[in-house]
């Protein structure tokens, strides 16, 4: 009887949320006014609310015949979302379908799926440009449980007077490294550092990488390792190039936006490429200290994750989302949690103060063109994901993500080694690098041109000036095209 009563209350609350969504709005200023600072009392209240939800086993499923269709952005979490969907359907009877787009195909997959009669009710957008493109499809999430539980109200995309999307995870990226091998390297005769802590800038990192790469056989003999190079491969194929046209380029954009005094994640119409020499230095280090053939990086034959996981490389540029794959015993990798660390992508600009790159391009949006029943079912499902034991365990412990909701406490705080490192950098007063690549106009087209030029430079068929042209002139062109499309 208690469960039935609570379900009725939740159904009424969901109906009220729908009415609020139709007429309500949220401005950036309003979001900023309800920032991430909370009192101990409010934190305890949030924990009590989450615990109460779990204790009462409330499924939060609305009445009616609504269903849920999640178009998942992250291929590495495909199975976890499908498992969650099955659990939720078993508990509530509400049908939840999950489709995961292949790596690098989310935009085209979403365009195709959104044109169907049975379109996704949950989809991902990454920035304000995407919010503009899909404005007619984004339901106003202000007043929903998802928004209310958000720890930091700045982790939303506000567009056209509404909360168009809400961050579903808060991520960090940098240079993943094998702590065990790097620590052991320090004991090898002739090592250029005596401690991993000596790596605090680009110059030192480069010296270490070059030394390891030039003495791979000697180091393998001394340590019993099976290294093939210092850095894992820097693939320029569609499944890997985003690490460089997006994440590595994002550091250059961050420092330029910082100098310009503009919004670090909204960017500006024109850039100068002030830090492209730094980009080049880091890229040359990646390519020059890897066993991968620079002439074949675009071929899709390399697997940087596997190279690192099997102990063939010491360094691997990627993010905290790699933790789940690297520590999954089913993958057969040799690295363990104790081996994993992450350091900043030192750029030679402000290395002494630089932390990891922190932010997100993963925001849940709810399809405003879905039926009222499907919208209600979708909001209830998302609330269940962030409040139930099953949902919180999947997000934190199985997907290895750091969720920005006040319900993720106790056993559901992140155990991710890379998130722990990020927390240490922040506690030490290091400045997190904002995800400035989120400002990229017509992101797929801009990145494609940058990758094409970078590929030609790397395989020897082109010059670095072409990379600068694609980066700077391409940005202005795509920004103008995006403006004209508004």
Can you read off the two tokens belonging to residue 242? Answer: 């985003």
Q: What is the predicted pLDDT for the residue at 56? A: 36
Highest mean pLDDT among 11-25, 28-42, 279-293, 431-445: 279-293
- The CATH number linked to 202 is 3.40.190.10
C-alpha radius of gyration, the chain, whole number: 23
In contact, 294 and 459? CB cutoff 8 Å = yes
Q: Which residue has the tokens 């787009």?
A: 101
Q: What is the predicted pLDDT for the residue at 8? A: 31
Q: What mean pLDDT comes out for the span 22-43?
A: 31
Helix (H) or strand (E) holding 257: helix 249-260
* 295, part of any domain: yes
The residue that leads in pLDDT, 275 or 43, is 275
pTM of the model: 0.70
- Model confidence at 11, in pLDDT bands (50, 70, 90)? very low
Q: Which residue segment(s) compose the domain that 100 sits in? A: 2-170+360-408
Q: What is the predicted pLDDT for the residue at 25? A: 30
- Model confidence at 153, in pLDDT bands (50, 70, 90)? confident
Q: 33 and 11: one domain?
A: yes
Q: 274 and 134: one domain?
A: no
* 415, part of any domain: no
In contact, 382 and 69? CB cutoff 8 Å = no
pLDDT digits (tens, 9 = 90+) for 112-132: 999 999 999 999 998 888 898
Q: What is the predicted pLDDT for the residue at 457? A: 98
Q: 397 and 334: one domain?
A: no
Q: Is 330 exposed, middle or buried (0-12, 13-18, 19+ CB in 10 A)?
A: exposed
Percent of the chain's residues with pLDDT above 70:
87
* 425, part of any domain: no
* 417, part of any domain: no
Q: What is the predicted pLDDT for the residue at 64? A: 60
pLDDT digits (tens, 9 = 90+) for 241-260: 999 999 999 999 999 999 99
Q: 366 and 278: one domain?
A: no
* 240, part of any domain: yes
Strand ranges, E, within 199-302: none
Q: 134 and 202: one domain?
A: no
The contacts of residue 448 (CB under 8 Å, 6+ apart) are: none
Q: 400 and 327: one domain?
A: no
In contact, 361 and 126? CB cutoff 8 Å = yes
pLDDT digits (tens, 9 = 90+) for 393-425: 999 889 888 888 999 988 898 888 999 899 899
* 246, part of any domain: yes
pLDDT digits (tens, 9 = 90+) for 454-484: 999 999 999 999 999 999 999 999 999 998 9
In contact, 475 and 271? CB cutoff 8 Å = yes
Q: 179 and 162: one domain?
A: no
Q: 331 and 374: one domain?
A: no
Q: What is the predicted pLDDT for the residue at 400? A: 80
Q: 238 and 309: one domain?
A: yes
* 204, part of any domain: yes
* 420, part of any domain: no
Residue 149 has pLDDT above 60, yes or no: yes
Helix (H) or strand (E) holding 128: helix 128-133
Q: 146 and 183: one domain?
A: no
Distance (Å, whole) CA 282 – CA 248? 9
Residue 145 has pLDDT above 80, yes or no: yes
Mean of pLDDT over the chain: 87
Q: What is the predicted pLDDT for the residue at 154? A: 75
Q: What is the predicted pLDDT for the residue at 155? A: 83
Q: 253 and 273: one domain?
A: yes
Alpha carbon 65 to its chain centroid, in Å, reads: 33
Last residue of one domain, picked from the residues 347, 376, 408 = 408
Domains identified in the chain, total number: 2
Percent of the chain's residues with pLDDT above 90:
74
| SS3 assignment, position 354 | strand
Q: 110 and 241: one domain?
A: no
Exposure on the CB side of residue 279, measured as CA atoms within 13 A: 25
Q: What mean pLDDT comes out for the span 425-430?
A: 89
């Amino acid at each position: 009887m208690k469960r039935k009563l609570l379900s009725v209350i939740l159904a009424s609350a969901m109906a009220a949320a729908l009415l609020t969504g139709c007429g309500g709005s949220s401005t950036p200023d309003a979001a900023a006014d309800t920032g991430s600072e909370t009192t101990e009392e409010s934190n305890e209240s949030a924990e009590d609310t989450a615990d109460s939800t779990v204790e009462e086993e409330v499924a939060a499923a609305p009445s009616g015949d609504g269903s849920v269709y999640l178009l998942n952005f992250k291929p590495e979490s495909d199975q976890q979302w499908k498992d969650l969907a099955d659990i939720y359907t078993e508990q509530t009877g509400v049908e939840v379908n999950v489709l995961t787009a292949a790596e690098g195909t989310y935009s085209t997959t979403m365009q195709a799926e959104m044109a169907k009669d049975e379109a996704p009710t949950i989809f991902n957008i990454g920035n304000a440009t995407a919010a503009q493109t899909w404005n007619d499809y984004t339901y106003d999430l202000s007043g929903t449980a998802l928004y209310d539980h958000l720890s930091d109200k700045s982790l939303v995309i506000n567009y056209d007077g509404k909360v168009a999307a809400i961050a579903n995870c808060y991520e960090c990226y940098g240079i993943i490294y094998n702590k065990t091998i790097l620590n052991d390297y320090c004991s090898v005769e002739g090592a250029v550092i005596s401690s991993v802590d000596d790596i605090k800038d680009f110059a030192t990192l480069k010296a270490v990488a070059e030394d390891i790469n030039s003495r791979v056989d000697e180091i393998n003999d001394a340590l019993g390792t099976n290294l093939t190079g210092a850095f894992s491969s820097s693939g320029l194929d569609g499944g890997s190039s985003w690490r460089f046209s997006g994440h590595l380029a994002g550091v250059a954009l961050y420092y330029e936006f910082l100098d310009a005094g503009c919004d670090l994640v909204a960017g500006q119409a024109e850039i100068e490429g002030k830090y492209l020499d730094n980009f080049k230095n880091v890229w040359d280090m990646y390519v020059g200290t890897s066993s991968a053939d620079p002439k074949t990086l675009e071929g899709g034959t390399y697997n940087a994750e596997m190279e690192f996981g099997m102990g063939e490389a010491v360094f691997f540029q990627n993010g905290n989302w790699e933790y789940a794959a690297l520590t999954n015993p089913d993958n057969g990798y040799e690295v363990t949690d104790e081996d994993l660390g992450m350091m900043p992508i030192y750029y030679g600009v402000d290395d002494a103060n630089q932390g990891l790159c922190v932010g997100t391009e993963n925001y849940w949006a709810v399809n405003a063109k879905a039926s009222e029943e499907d919208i209600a079912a979708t909001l209830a499902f998302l609330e269940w994901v962030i409040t139930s034991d099953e949902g919180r365990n999947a997000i934190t412990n199985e997907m290895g993500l750091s969720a920005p909701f006040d319900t993720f406490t106790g056993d559901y705080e992140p155990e991710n080694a890379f998130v722990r490192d990020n927390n240490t950098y922040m506690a030490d007063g290091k400045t997190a690098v904002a995800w400035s690549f989120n400002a990229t106009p017509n992101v797929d087209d801009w990145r494609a041109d940058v990758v094409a030029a970078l590929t030609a430079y790397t395989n020897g068929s082109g010059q670095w000036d072409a990379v600068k042209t694609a980066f700077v002139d391409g940005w202005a062109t795509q920004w103008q095209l995006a403006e004209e499309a508004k």
